[in-house]
Amino acid sequence: MPALSAQRRDLDFLLFDMLGVQGLTRAPRFVEHSRETFGAALDAAQEIAEREYAPLNALLDADEPRMVNGEVRLPAELKPALAKALAAGFNAATFDADQGGMQLPQVVAQSCWALFKGACVAADTYCSLSIGVANMLSRFGTPAQRATYLGPLLSGRCFGTMVLTEPQAGSALADVRASATPLAHGGYAIRAQKIFITAGDHGLAENIVHLVLARLPDAPAGVKGLSLFIVPKYRVEPDGSCGAANDVVLAGLIHKMGSKGTTSALLQFGAQGACVGELLGEPHQGLACMFHMMNEARINVGIAATMLAAAGYRHALAYARERVQGRASADPRSNPVPIVRHADVRRMLLAQKAIAEGGLSLCLQGALWADEQQVADSAQARDLAGALLDLMTPVIKAWCASQGRVANALAIQVLGGYGYTRDHPVEQHYRDNRLNSIHEGTDGIQALDLLGRKVGARGGEALAALGRLVASTIAQSRLSPPLAELAAALERAWGELHDTTALLVRELPRAPQLALANASLYLHVFGHTVVAWMWLRQALAAASRLESPDQAFHQAKLAATHYFFRYELPQTRPLHDLLRRLDPLLTELDDAVL
């Protein structure tokens, strides 16, 4: 798997040379760790990714989940592969050592899981959802709930899901109708029809723990009336063993264009009146709770999208080095050359690299903020890291998803006709990655979150803090003459973003529809600007390592940085003009006029 080795090499660079995550080992929580233990975890993940997950990728796509006798049938090869990752402890990667966890920082654990995603994202999804549910129980569960579910979720005896969407309520969670009625002897009777439930049913584990959004009687309308319930597929006996079925019925499967290996189910809860759940967290606080899981899932989506982009890039690069086609001169008697010599192919390769590795570095920066939110020295620093993570989550999710798709389209293009066939993996990457702009909140929802809530939150505190970080990179780059020009370009771009943001945030209370009309384009501009920042940081780390034996690796980082600054970042300029004009075209349009 040369692709995964290359990705591992890049992760090492991003984690240790750019982000300096080894600094986390100064925090008491990670004091037992070192760069070596981080590396060992990555080694173990890489081996499982290569040996267990990679062979599954095409297989899960070709043999999608089927419904047989009311249950989901998956390829037999999936369960033993997941068992390897579970046995190695990767579901418990961030959990405390005394819970049997590795007590790794988020940013290192995410890097391990990223290798799984790069090999077979459909397989990894079953585990990543279970980890999300374990984190939720760990944070919001009662001691009894934790005792019942946490161990099985971390060991893989039990898998988890998040259950939000209903046929009439996709992006609009305010319209969720699922009901929860208190029962005389404790617990709640759950009634719900849910759709698009990822990993909603399967035979991979003894039990499945669904976290279900539903309304208590007399709950207020809208999202403030949602509560969260733990609803197992099989009731759990006092000794922890699985009991009777809990009236959670598989009503159908969704047949998708890609990401086929991940089951997507229609589930009916309580059709027989016999589905029992327990409340997780406080009544009517369900959405706030769920957002903890959702935000984690959004980082996961960003990483999956960039790892798919990286997988496509690596395949296209290997192909371009081998495939001989066309000539460097007009003389037909000259020898044909590998297509990596053609400028247009190089452009497509650099574009993919810039998206994949630039996006991944942004995701990992997000994960590092998640760690700093927990372990930074001061309350202020922890608070700020949390605010930065909140600010960046929609950008990580939506920018990586939409740009990852662009990268995967280019991978197909490098292969030409061969790339369009099912004999190469790039067409699957393209289909798989299309999902990432949709699930866990569409690109449009992320954009409204960013511009409508995040940038203006607490007086724009997080954006200002981000601006200070960007300014520090700019100052550092000015000291390195070859990067000074890029520093100036980033300073201009940041200034533009600052001004556009100020204008839109000022307009929001007066004319929210108009200010938010082009939120998606705002997110695109925001993403391009922060990814330029990430590339400048990568360039700084690479420029100081040009004398190392791995010179080509570092020069490639500089080439991708230059590509991003010359080809991508300037595209934000006309979008700033558009955003500032508060153009009423979209808001004033008559519905009939389309």
Site residues for a second copy, 334-393, by CB under 8 A, read 336, 338, 340-347, 349-350, 353
Contact between 519 and a second copy per CB under 8 A: yes
Residues 22-81 that bind a second copy (CB under 8 A): none
Among 16, 234, 291, 420, binds a second copy (CB under 8 A): 420
Span from 66-74, 303-311, 437-445, 530-538 in contact with a second copy (CB under 8 A): 437-445
Residues 440-479 that bind a second copy (CB under 8 A): 442-444, 447-448
Q: Nearest approach, Cβ of 539 to a second copy (angstroms)? A: 14
β-strand partners of 280: 228
Contact between 194 and a second copy per CB under 8 A: no
CA 34 to chain centre: 26
Q: Measure the CA–CA gap between 304 and 198, rounded to whole angstroms.
A: 15
CB closer to a second copy out of 244 and 593 = 593
Residue 527: partners with Cβ closer than 8 Å, 6 or more residues away: 362, 395, 398, 399, 403
Q: Nearest approach, Cβ of 2 to a second copy (angstroms)? A: 13
Among 224, 453, 458, 492, binds a second copy (CB under 8 A): 224
Residues 551-590 that bind a second copy (CB under 8 A): 552, 555-556, 559, 562-563, 566-567, 570-571, 573-574, 577-578, 581, 583, 585-587, 589-590
| Number of residues this chain uses to bind a second copy (CB under 8 A) | 95
Q: Nearest approach, Cβ of 418 to a second copy (angstroms)? A: 8
CA dihedral 115, 367, 433, 162 (to 10 degrees): 100
CB closer to a second copy out of 75 and 444 = 444
Q: Measure the CA–CA gap between 150 and 252, rounded to whole angstroms.
A: 29
Residue 449 near residue 394 (C-beta atoms within 8 A): yes
Burial of 55 by CB count in 10 Å (0-12 exposed, 13-18 middle, 19+ buried)?
middle
Span from 80-88, 119-127, 430-438, 502-510 in contact with a second copy (CB under 8 A): 430-438
Contact between 524 and a second copy per CB under 8 A: no
Contact between 181 and a second copy per CB under 8 A: no
Q: Nearest approach, Cβ of 54 to a second copy (angstroms)? A: 20
Tokens of 294: 């959702």
Which residue shows structure tokens 């037999």? 76
CB closer to a second copy out of 56 and 493 = 493
Cα dihedral sign, 395-399-401-407: negative
Tokens of 418: 């061969």
Tokens of 56: 């599954």
The total of other beta-carbon atoms located within 10 Å of residue 464's CB is: 13
440, 496, 547, 588: the active-site residue: 440
Burial of 549 by CB count in 10 Å (0-12 exposed, 13-18 middle, 19+ buried)?
exposed
Q: Nearest approach, Cβ of 207 to a second copy (angstroms)? A: 26
The total of other beta-carbon atoms located within 10 Å of residue 211's CB is: 25
Among 438, 471, 489, 508, binds a second copy (CB under 8 A): 438
- Does the active-site annotation cover 372? no
Residue 540: partners with Cβ closer than 8 Å, 6 or more residues away: 18, 473, 476, 477, 480, 483
CB closer to a second copy out of 150 and 195 = 195
Angle at 110 between CA 524 and CA 294, to 5 degrees: 60
Q: Nearest approach, Cβ of 549 to a second copy (angstroms)? A: 13
The total of other beta-carbon atoms located within 10 Å of residue 514's CB is: 17
Tokens of 585: 């075209």
136 closest CA partner among 123, 127, 146 = 146
CB closer to a second copy out of 97 and 488 = 488
Span from 19-27, 178-186, 464-472, 550-558 in contact with a second copy (CB under 8 A): 550-558
Among 118, 187, 232, 419, binds a second copy (CB under 8 A): 419
Residues 309-328 that bind a second copy (CB under 8 A): 317, 321, 324-327
Residue 265 near residue 254 (C-beta atoms within 8 A): yes
CB closer to a second copy out of 224 and 458 = 224
CA 276 to chain centre: 32
Among 227, 361, 477, 518, binds a second copy (CB under 8 A): 518
Residue 159 near residue 243 (C-beta atoms within 8 A): no
Among 303, 412, 455, 540, binds a second copy (CB under 8 A): 412
CA dihedral 282, 284, 287, 291 (to 10 degrees): -20
Q: Nearest approach, Cβ of 569 to a second copy (angstroms)? A: 9
CB closer to a second copy out of 389 and 412 = 412
Contact between 222 and a second copy per CB under 8 A: yes
CB closer to a second copy out of 202 and 576 = 576
Helix ranges, 323-415 (H): 343-375, 379-415
Q: Nearest approach, Cβ of 52 to a second copy (angstroms)? A: 26
Among 269, 430, 533, 535, binds a second copy (CB under 8 A): 430
Tokens of 194: 């849910």
Which residue shows structure tokens 């798997």? 1
CB closer to a second copy out of 8 and 424 = 424
Residue 155 near residue 182 (C-beta atoms within 8 A): no
Residue 397: partners with Cβ closer than 8 Å, 6 or more residues away: 298, 299, 301, 302, 440, 441, 446
Beta strand segments in 287-383, E: none
Span from 170-178, 211-219, 295-303, 535-543 in contact with a second copy (CB under 8 A): 170-178
Give the x-and-dash track for 274-313 against a second copy (CB under 8 A).
----------------------------------------
Q: Nearest approach, Cβ of 573 to a second copy (angstroms)? A: 6
Q: Nearest approach, Cβ of 53 to a second copy (angstroms)? A: 22
Residue 30 near residue 103 (C-beta atoms within 8 A): yes
Q: Nearest approach, Cβ of 496 to a second copy (angstroms)? A: 13
Residues serving a catalytic function are 440
